[in-house]
Amino acid sequence: MCSPSNLSLDFRILLTLKERGLGLSGTLGPYISIVFILLVLFQPTYHVLNSKEICKEVKEDPRLKVFKKEWFEGKDCLDIGCNQGLITISIAKEYCCRSIRGIDIDANLVNSAYWNLKRISKLVSTSSQSSIASESELSKRVNGSLEQSTVPTNEDSGLPQNDLLNRVSFQKENFVERVCPHSEEYDVILCLSVSKWIHLNWGDDGLVTLFSNVWRLLRPGGIFVLEPQPWKSYQKNYRVSETATFNYNNIVFYPCLFQEILLDKIGFKTVENITESLPGSVTGFDRPIFVLRK
């Protein structure tokens, strides 16, 4: 059944009316009831289409064009501030990491991320089975034995069933206030378009805590992929709360100093700006992305 947070607006309005005993009587009552039933029946189709649109949107994200497969392949990864999980899922799907965990402070976003994971995993599974079936049929035709052909399952073909579901996970978590277990380690940690919000909500101390926690969680030789928002972005958003305004007015560690802090104070060995010539930049994602090595 569809999650309430992912239902269409019209459907949620009618559902609310129904729950409150409104809108199903009078002149428009029968009409509303019919519309309600139709929306229930066709809601699954709506989500299948939305899943395909999500996959297209992720493929077109310009940041994925500058990521390298060798960073992630066979590695354990952490995505801080994963939002709805689209980049997290795409990294698992395209770059074959061993595991990747997305965390976000917003429980609603984490729920959406799990929903997206289930939908995309289903699409990938369906696509893989169709491809296997097509290849099997072609092979049988070539061998002249189409009549006795059978379609192999994922297990028969060696493809892991529900592979994305096994490798991707999401969790509601405040990364700044967490206690890092000594046993928890990652090869790659991503922090994309999140540092500004941590900075505004927890100030310079929160920013340093972010960088320090990343350092402690990375294995030797691990990489930290950081996409910091520029100062002009702070100037547009610092009025969102009194806390953000207070911290904004007391910031000493400006974004232009992040590289120096990470290298000289935190202890990273090298830093590289991988987006100096980012192809296909889109509004909001034309900022630098730094890759730091421990």
Query: Domain-by-domain residue ranges, the chain?
Result: 4-55, 60-293
Q: Which two tokens stand for residue 40?
A: 């229930």
The span from the CA of 275 to the CA of 294, in Å, is 20
Residue 125 above 60 pLDDT?
A: yes
> β-strands 270-273, 290-293: how paired?
antiparallel
The span from the CA of 52 to the CA of 123, in Å, is 8
The span from the CA of 35 to the CA of 31, in Å, is 6
Tens-place pLDDT, residues 209-258: 999 999 999 999 999 999 999 999 999 999 999 999 999 999 999 999 99
pTM value > 0.85: no
Residue 136 above 60 pLDDT?
A: no
Average pLDDT rounded to a whole number, residues 22-44: 50
Confidence band (pLDDT; 50, 70, 90) for 53?
low
User: What pLDDT score was predicted for residue 79?
Assistant: 98
Alpha carbon 108 to its chain centroid, in Å, reads: 13
CATH of 60-293, one of 3.40.50.360, 3.40.50.10490, 3.40.50.150, 3.40.50.300: 3.40.50.150
